[in-house]
């Protein structure tokens, strides 16, 4: 069983066999509408980053297995753009346009040759980690339950020896959609605070109890990052949480 990364053109060709012409047109429209909306709003959002002791300390540091909640996917997509971070998403209609939008921001979608998507994607993510890349999971996606961890990152951390990291992004002003994840869309000129948690390692010989503990630690860390970001987001731009500067891509 092999896994590969795919370009947008390859992805479009593959989608032709899975979606109707009407769906393919909708995918094109949604992809461009979503990309342009984020591209217009993103530069107006002012981001600050707070690093816990023992966290990676830099957006560029790699490799790491990152996790975050699905609801802050849009601000994360803009802040982490152009870093060639490896992501996985489902083969559903929603997963297809989400993956295409992310690719336009410099993320790389991992695919494989097996019909068992979850297995092939995890194998692909493992290969990318072994090559030194960052991989990232919207950990409660694609359909929930909301803010409940899943075992994928811990499995990869155990298999590769690469530590897990996690973050949450809070916003001062946002539209909150009435979706399962309560997806947030930054309002123009809002402020954002990303809190990044300290890394968690999973031993390669971890037994069942150690694996369960790693999941509990991951859940606790994500909850802690979320609480911290929500409490302190209005201090973004202060001396304690100065705004960060990112490249203009």
Residue 5's pLDDT band (cuts 50, 70, 90): low
CA dist., res. 235 & res. 248, Å (int): 24
Give 198-240 pLDDT, tens digit per residue.
999 999 999 999 999 999 999 999 999 999 999 999 999 999 9
Mean pLDDT of 39-63: 97
Does a structural domain hold residue 240?
no
Give 144-195 pLDDT, tens digit per residue.
899 999 999 999 999 999 999 999 999 999 999 999 999 999 999 999 999 9
CA dist., res. 129 & res. 119, Å (int): 16
The rounded mean pLDDT for the chain is 90
Q: Note down the domain range covering 131.
A: 3-235
CA dist., res. 103 & res. 126, Å (int): 19
pLDDT for 88? 85
pLDDT for 141? 80
What is the distance, to the nearest Å, from the Cα of residue 95 to the centroid of all Cα atoms in its chain? 13
pLDDT at 2 over 70: no
Give 54-88 pLDDT, tens digit per residue.
999 999 999 999 999 999 999 999 999 999 999 98
Does a structural domain hold residue 156?
yes
Give 81-120 pLDDT, tens digit per residue.
999 999 987 777 888 899 999 999 999 998 643 445 677 7
Does a structural domain hold residue 136?
yes
CA dihedral for 243, 102, 184, 41, sign (positive or negative): positive
Strand partners, 194: 49, 169
Does a structural domain hold residue 138?
yes
Question: How many other C-beta atoms can be found within 10 angstroms of the C-beta atom of residue 182?
Answer: 13
Does a structural domain hold residue 84?
yes
Judged by DSSP in three states, 90 sits in: coil
DSSP the chain: --EEE--HHHHHHHHHTTS-HHHHHHHHHHHHHHHHHHHHHGGGPEEEEEE-TTS--STT--S-EEEE-GGGHHHHHHHTTTS--EE---SSHHHHHHHHHHHHTT-EEEEESSS-HHHHHHHHHHHHHHTT--EEEETTTTT--TT---SHHHHHHHHH-PPEEEEEEEESSEEE-SSTT--EEEPTT-EEEEEEPPPB---TT--HHHHHHHHHHHHHHHHHHHHHHHHHGGGTTSSSSPBP-----
Does a structural domain hold residue 80?
yes
Q: How is residue 222 written in tokens?
A: 């994500």
pLDDT at 6 over 60: no
pLDDT for 45? 97
pLDDT for 18? 79
pLDDT for 11? 55
pLDDT at 21 over 50: yes
Does a structural domain hold residue 245?
no
Mean pLDDT of 127-143: 92
pLDDT for 223? 98
Counted domains in the chain: 1
* pTM reported for the whole predicted model: 0.90
pLDDT for 7? 55
Mean pLDDT of 24-36: 96
CA-CA-CA-CA dihedral for 228, 234, 240, 241, to nearest 10: 80
CA dist., res. 187 & res. 169, Å (int): 14
Q: How is residue 212 written in tokens?
A: 């369960």
Top-confidence residue, 92 or 28: 28
């Amino acid at each position: 069983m092999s896994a590969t990364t795919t370009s947008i053109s390859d992805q479009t060709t593959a989608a032709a066999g899975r979606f109707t012409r009407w769906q393919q047109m909708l995918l094109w429209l949604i992809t461009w509408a979503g990309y342009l909306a984020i591209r217009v709003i993103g530069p107006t959002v002012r981001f600050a980053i707070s690093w816990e002791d023992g966290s990676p300390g830099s957006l560029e540091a790699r490799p790491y297995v990152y996790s975050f909640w699905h609801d802050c996917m849009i601000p994360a997509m803009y802040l982490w753009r152009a870093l060639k971070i490896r992501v996985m998403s489902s083969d559903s209609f929603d997963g297809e346009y989400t993956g295409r939008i992310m690719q336009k921001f410099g993320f790389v979608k991992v695919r494989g040759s097996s019909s068992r998507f979850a297995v092939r994607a995890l194998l692909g993510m493992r290969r990318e980690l072994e090559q030194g890349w960052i991989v990232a999971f919207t950990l409660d996606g694609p359909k929930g339950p909301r803010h409940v961890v899943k075992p994928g990152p811990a499995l990869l951390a155990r298999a590769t020896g690469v530590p897990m990291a996690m973050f949450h992004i809070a916003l001062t002003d946002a539209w909150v959609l009435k979706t399962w994840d309560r997806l947030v869309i930054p309002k123009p000129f809002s402020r954002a605070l990303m809190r990044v948690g300290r890394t968690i390692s999973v031993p390669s010989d971890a037994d069942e109890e150690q694996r369960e503990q790693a999941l509990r630690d991951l859940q606790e860390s994500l909850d802690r990052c979320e609480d911290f970001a929500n409490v302190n987001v209005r201090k973004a731009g202060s001396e304690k949480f100065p705004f960060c500067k990112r490249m203009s891509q």
